[in-house]
């Protein structure tokens, strides 16, 4: 059983990983056809992965409603929103607009989802301001440097800042283009090296957490 449950999946990862990595350097039509087919398959599998992602949410809230746990009414609102959207979505064949005319599904998207999601993230504006006031203090030399860079960039990227401090625009441009770019580049190189190393570990079966738990 261990062969079927652990060794074979690891072997599949090894073969597919090495094949796809090598494919990049082999521009033969057969190799290119393989890439086309496999990426097409990934598109379809990606759809199933999305389903997998959302179904756990169904379960959690269904249990809450069934047991009438604290706040189960909110779970009811969640279910109502979800089922209502699915109903109008299927009615509209999954289209927000047909020939430029908004469907009920498009209405739910434009007047419910867009403002809800937009506002959820917009309230962060208030919290970042509050956090800046409470914790952005020049406690050390490093913190002072961070603070100065933030102030220059904040002023240099808005018309009022460029009007009051004409130099702030050029200085913030230099900070972004040179100092920031060098740090981001170092981070990018470092992260990429890490990602490549992790990919090799996955292919060669050193990293196996994606297989999930279990004894076998």
CB atoms within 10 A of CB 133: 9
From the CB of 182, what's the least distance to other proteins, in Å?
3
Of residues 30 and 50, the one with the C-beta less far from other proteins: 50
Size of site (CB under 8 A) for other proteins: 153
Strand-pair partners of 97: 102
| Window 71-90: residues binding other proteins (CB under 8 A) | 71, 74-75, 77-86, 89-90
| Window 28-57: residues binding other proteins (CB under 8 A) | 32, 35-52, 54-55, 57
Work out whether 65 is an interface residue with other proteins (CB under 8 A): no
Please compute, for residue 139, the number of CA atoms within 13 A of its CA located in the half-sphere on the CB side.
Answer: 4
C-alpha distances (whole Å) from 163 to each of 75, 157, 171, 176 are 51, 11, 14, 19
Work out whether 20 is an interface residue with other proteins (CB under 8 A): yes
From the CB of 149, what's the least distance to other proteins, in Å?
3
* DSSP secondary structure of 149-186: HHHHHHHHTSHHHHHHSHHHHHHHHHIIIIIIHHHHHH
| Window 88-117: residues binding other proteins (CB under 8 A) | 89-90, 93-100, 102, 105-117
From the CB of 159, what's the least distance to other proteins, in Å?
4
Query: Tokens at residue 162, please?
Result: 């460029």
Work out whether 3 is an interface residue with other proteins (CB under 8 A): no
């Amino acid at each position: 059983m261990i062969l079927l449950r652990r060794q074979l999946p690891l072997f599949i990862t090894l073969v597919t990983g090495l094949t796809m990595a090598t494919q990049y350097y082999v521009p033969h039509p057969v190799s290119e056809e393989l890439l086309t087919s496999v990426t097409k398959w990934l598109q379809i599998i990606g759809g199933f992965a999305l389903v997998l992602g959302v179904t756990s949410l169904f379960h959690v809230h269904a249990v809450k409603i069934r047991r009438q746990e604290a706040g189960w009414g909110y779970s009811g609102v969640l279910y109502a929103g979800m089922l209502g959207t699915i109903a109008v979505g299927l009615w509209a064949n999954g289209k927000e607009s047909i020939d430029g005319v908004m469907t009920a599904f498009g209405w739910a998207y434009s007047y419910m989802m867009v403002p809800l999601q937009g506002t959820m993230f917009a309230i962060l504006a208030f919290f970042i301001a509050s956090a800046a006031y409470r914790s952005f203090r020049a406690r050390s030399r490093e913190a002072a440097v961070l603070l100065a860079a933030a102030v220059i960039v904040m002023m240099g990227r808005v018309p009022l800042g460029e009007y009051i401090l004409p130099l702030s625009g050029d200085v913030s441009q230099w900070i972004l283009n040179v100092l920031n770019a060098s740090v981001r580049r170092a981070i990018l190189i470092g992260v990429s090296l890490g990602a490549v190393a992790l990919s090799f570990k996955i292919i060669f079966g050193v990293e196996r957490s994606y297989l999930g738990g279990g004894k076998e």
